Amino acid sequence: MTASQIETLGAEVKEASREVSRSSGVTRQTALRAAAETLRSERSTILTANEADLRSAEEAGLTATALDRLRLDAGRLEAMALGLETVASLPDPVGATVAGSVRPNGLKVTQVRRPLGVIGVIYENRPNVTSDAAGLCLASGNAAFLRGSSSSIRSNMAITAALRAGLGEVGLPEAAITLVEDTSHETAAAFMRLEGIIDCLIPRGGPSLIASMREHATVPYVLDGDGNCHVYVDRHADLDMAVRIIVNAKTQRPGVCNAMESLVLHAQVAHEVLGRLAVEMPEVRLLGDEAACTISPDMEAASPEDFGTEFLDLVATVRVVEDLDAAIDHVNRHSSGHSEAIVTSDVTAAERFLDEVEAAAVLLNASTRFVDGSELGLGAEVGISTQKIHARGPMGLEALTSTRWVIRGEGQTRT
């Protein structure tokens, strides 16, 4: 695909986005429900396309993990349809007034939520993202401009066709959900440079995708980055609670971004906590600093890089500190800006940690696993932003909107 071809495709998506942005919430919700139904009725077509993707991927030697991410079955397809129906039941963010006042000169000023326009999504090989992302975009009045990976292209095309049929049923333009079918790197780079077309680009992928976005993107973007999440156990902590939180944060689902990757222990409780963890989560490989290895002579030594690593596995670093300042300093130094927790019964330590640690979420006496759109009441999750501008932390439908100033006068002029 040439740069000019992707611009032409983008112009169609932009045009469709205008129509979607003007459509009523009930139209968009009906479209989402119709899309869920077409996903169900097109099940065999989608699964056949997915089988073809899987065969190519096996021949290309993809790992078992990658193949599992790529695989669809009746259950996963039904989960996608239910996902669309869930999003359709959320309150429509479009048109909400977020602030307003009457100025001394009588101007009535409000700030009103509007769709961003065209949301670009670049993602890796999980085909369900096609449906999830399109649903979130449509529910918030946006058009979805999707660029998935080459390994899932047949699945993504089949899913997109089904979703578009749903749009067509309610009279919305099918271009409002558009998949870029050319999966070359050149086209991806051109996609990231569609100024005036893509209003916000969201990557769903690993560090190499994010590095490529920073390098190539000229359109605005929101980064869904890594989570190198810490749990700090203070000197004054209920150690039963601390161990419960650590085990939950590390082991309940180790492969996700809000799992704990680093444990920070006050020196006065380190011995006790490490002893209990050896019993409560023996399956976790701990990599310690010098003090931790002195306490637990069997513990492997952590390398300096380990303290900055998101393992996404049953592995965690351990750092022993002499006081709260050292704990905050260590967390701020290694944090990826995602979620950081303290376990303490001391109110001064609690408030200082909550105030001084810079991350999208800071937690007191709770597992980092709670930092998630559904757990925090957002209904659906677009992603978890680890940047500070636009949206920080779990993003719901509102993160796919902007606010516009609406000013009503009676002929006022400025003096």
Q: Is 354 in the site for its own copies (CB under 8 A)?
A: yes
Per-residue binding letters, 18-37, with its own copies (x by CB under 8 A)? x--xx---------------
* Residue pair 198/118 in contact by the 8 Å Cβ criterion: yes
Pick between residue 203 and residue 288 the one whose CB is nearest to its own copies.
Answer: 203
Pick between residue 138 and residue 362 the one whose CB is nearest to its own copies.
Answer: 362
Neighbours of 319 (CB within 10 A): 24
Per-residue binding letters, 222-261, with its own copies (x by CB under 8 A)? x---------------x--x--xx-xxx--x---------
Q: Is 413 in the site for its own copies (CB under 8 A)?
A: yes
Q: Is 387 in the site for its own copies (CB under 8 A)?
A: yes
Residue 292 CB-half CA count within 13 A: 23
The kind and range of the H/E element at 241 are: helix 239-251
The kind and range of the H/E element at 321 are: strand 315-321
Least distance in angstroms from the C-beta of 29 to its own copies: 19
Pick between residue 306 and residue 340 the one whose CB is nearest to its own copies.
Answer: 340
Q: Applying CB under 8 A, which part among 68-76, 162-170, 271-279, 349-357 lies near its own copies?
A: 349-357
* Residue pair 57/70 in contact by the 8 Å Cβ criterion: yes
Least distance in angstroms from the C-beta of 345 to its own copies: 10
Pick between residue 72 and residue 264 the one whose CB is nearest to its own copies.
Answer: 264
Least distance in angstroms from the C-beta of 194 to its own copies: 12
Q: Is 304 in the site for its own copies (CB under 8 A)?
A: no
Least distance in angstroms from the C-beta of 358 to its own copies: 7
Q: Applying CB under 8 A, which part among 69-77, 82-90, 262-270, 386-394 lies near its own copies?
A: 386-394
d(CA 337, CA 254): 18
The kind and range of the H/E element at 229 are: strand 229-233
Q: Applying CB under 8 A, which part among 169-177, 179-187, 216-224, 297-305 lies near its own copies?
A: 216-224
> Which stretches within 98-169 are classed as H helix?
128-139, 153-169
Name which position in 367, 381, 395, 396 contacts its own copies (CB under 8 A): 367
Least distance in angstroms from the C-beta of 146 to its own copies: 19
* Binding residue count for its own copies, defined by CB under 8 A: 67
Residue with tokens 């983008």: 10
d(CA 136, CA 119): 10
Q: What are phi and psi of 281, to 5 degrees?
A: -140, 65
Q: Applying CB under 8 A, which part among 34-42, 69-77, 100-108, 304-312 lies near its own copies?
A: 100-108
The full DSSP string for 5-61 is HHHHHHHHHHHHHHHHHHS-HHHHHHHHHHHHHHHHHTHHHHHHHHHHHHHHHHHTT
Classify residue 17 as left (phi > 0), alpha (psi -120 to 50) or beta: alpha
Tokens of 339: 């979620």
By CB under 8 A, the residues from 183 to 212 that bind its own copies are 195, 199-200
Q: Applying CB under 8 A, which part among 50-58, 107-115, 282-290, 304-312 lies near its own copies?
A: 107-115
Per-residue binding letters, 37-76, with its own copies (x by CB under 8 A)? ----------------------------------------
**Buried b or exposed e, range 43-59, using 16+ CB within 10 angstroms:** beebbebbeebbebbee
397 alpha-carbon distance from chain centroid:
12
Q: Is 272 in the site for its own copies (CB under 8 A)?
A: no
CA distances from 142 to 15, 55, 160, 198 (A): 11, 34, 16, 11
Pick between residue 36 and residue 399 the one whose CB is nearest to its own copies.
Answer: 399
The kind and range of the H/E element at 246 are: helix 239-251
Q: Is 364 in the site for its own copies (CB under 8 A)?
A: yes
Q: Is 8 in the site for its own copies (CB under 8 A)?
A: no
Q: What is the largest CA-CA distance in the chain?
A: 79
Per-residue binding letters, 309-338, with its own copies (x by CB under 8 A)? -----------------------x------
d(CA 128, CA 54): 14
- The amino acid present at 290, given as its one-letter code, is E
* Residue pair 158/42 in contact by the 8 Å Cβ criterion: yes
Residues of the shown chain interacting with its own copies in the complex, contacts defined by CB under 8 A = 18, 21-22, 101, 103, 107, 109, 114, 116-117, 195, 199-200, 214-215, 218, 220, 222, 238, 241, 244-245, 247-249, 252, 332, 354-356, 358-367, 369-371, 375-377, 387-390, 392-394, 402-415
